[in-house]
Amino acid sequence: MRQRRSVTRGREGRDGHNRWMITYADLITLLLIFFVILFAMSSLDQEKYGNVISSLQRSFQTGSGLLDGGNGLLSGQKGKDNGQGSEALSSAQPSATPDGSKSGASPTAAPEATASPSQRELAFRQQEAKLAQLMNVITQYVADNNLGDQIFVADKPQGITITLSDRFLFDVGRADLKPDAQPALHQLSGLFRDISAVISIEGHTDNTPVLPSSPYRDNWQLSGERAQSVLRFFLEKERLSASRFQYAGYADTRPAADNSTASGRQKNRRVEIIVLRQLQSE
């Protein structure tokens, strides 16, 4: 009897140790069902999806959408609100413009789009045309007189910049205009008469200090005196209006080239006449 009881207890112990496999199998089964459900939910019915897309395309092409009382959600409300519902919605619809864009039906949109330019805008356009003409005339004058290495013309954002080398305008270390430079300045003054713009005259030097025997204290004074000499030619010899001019001396603070070479220092010794891109204040 004792031997049978020990055998029975051994079997029951083994069965108890294996019960966890039943729970584990149930868990695996539930996870499998869960993933099958997720996969089924993520799969799209291609046929139904295609029908929905086709319906939307037909709706957009025929124009019977949701807002105009057609076959959409607002069907049956057409004609309500004192008979003005559809007219209000129709007037709010954007209309196509010739370039393919859409514009609203605001009564002020058309006048703004076709409004004539203001007087100031017309004046600015005229000034731009004169600046372009000035650029062409000066470029031709420089070419005709072989001054390409002394006078440089460029169209920059701030305006037409006319750069004159110091060798063309002055003797070394001096600020008095050379007689040979006056014909070119006379030509420029004739062009400046017809342009309603502010003209800035700016003197520049290299970084070489002035000589102890120089009548000028430093490069600041030398650059300012050189710009002032050009300015006085326009005012006193050519009788141009002083209100249209401004001048400044920048010494060596705005170099155009490297001051470590002789050619660079030569480019930095210059006077720039800039016809500014702005209208003269009234």
Q: What is the DSSP letter of 181?
A: G
pTM over 0.75: no
Task: Map out the domains of the chain as residue ranges.
Answer: 2-42, 46-94, 120-279
Summarize the confidence of residues 158-171 as an average pLDDT. Answer: 94
pLDDT surpassing 50 at residue 182: yes
Summarize the confidence of residues 186-193 as an average pLDDT. Answer: 89
pLDDT in tens, 7-34: 555 555 556 667 778 888 888 888 888 8
* pLDDT given at position 52: 63
Q: What length does the chain have?
A: 282
* pLDDT given at position 168: 93
Indicate the pLDDT class of residue 64, thresholds 50, 70 and 90.
very low
* pLDDT given at position 90: 43
* pLDDT given at position 265: 95
Which CATH number is 120-279 given? 3.30.1330.60
Q: For residue 52, give the amino acid letter.
A: V
Q: What is the DSSP letter of 172?
A: T
Question: Looking at per-residue confidence, does 54 or 63 come out higher?
Answer: 54
Distance in Å from the first CA to the final CA of the chain = 129
* pLDDT given at position 149: 87
